[in-house]
Amino acid sequence: MRRIIIRVSNLVAGMFILLATLNIYLSGYEVIIGAFLAGLIASYREEKASISICMAIASVLLFYLVMTAYYYLLNPYGVMVMFKTGPLLYVPIVVSIIAAFCGGLIGSVLYPRLKTGSP
């Protein structure tokens, strides 16, 4: 149970990191940095690389799901148009998934070392 709570918290934290970085400035960098950080946060204290990466990607997908749902409530028409934009929509999502993957991968290396204190 505790593990589940930690994982959910990590997912949500990762999601908010991405939200925060996207609000700072609109360039391509913050999507990559934000998703990387989200992946890093979401994979906190995971030791297995596969779970680490899954958590990282899941946090980014959770972000897009929540934002899409929120904006669908506000402007359903605009959001449906977004889905027609093809690569305009998919490329940032794919890029952020890959960035999150990197965050999860590095997290899976980093956290066990922080835990054990080994160099």
Residue ranges in contact with another protein by CB under 8 A: 19, 22-23, 26-29, 31-32, 36, 49, 67-68, 70-71, 74-75, 77-79, 81-82, 84-89, 91-92, 95, 98-99, 101-103, 105-106, 108-109, 112-113
Q: Are 60 and 97 in contact, with CB atoms under 8 Å apart?
A: yes
The nearest distance, CB 6 to another protein, in angstroms, is 22
E-only strand ranges, 1-119: none
The nearest distance, CB 51 to another protein, in angstroms, is 14
CA 113 to chain CA mean position, Å: 22
The nearest distance, CB 107 to another protein, in angstroms, is 9
The nearest distance, CB 34 to another protein, in angstroms, is 11
Which tokens hold the place of 101? 């993957």
Measured from the CB atom, the residue of 2 and 84 that comes closer to another protein is 84
Q: Are 79 and 71 in contact, with CB atoms under 8 Å apart?
A: yes
Measured from the CB atom, the residue of 9 and 23 that comes closer to another protein is 23
Measured from the CB atom, the residue of 54 and 67 that comes closer to another protein is 67
Q: What amino acid occupies position 30?
A: E
Rg for the chain, CA atoms, rounded: 15
Q: Are 38 and 83 in contact, with CB atoms under 8 Å apart?
A: no
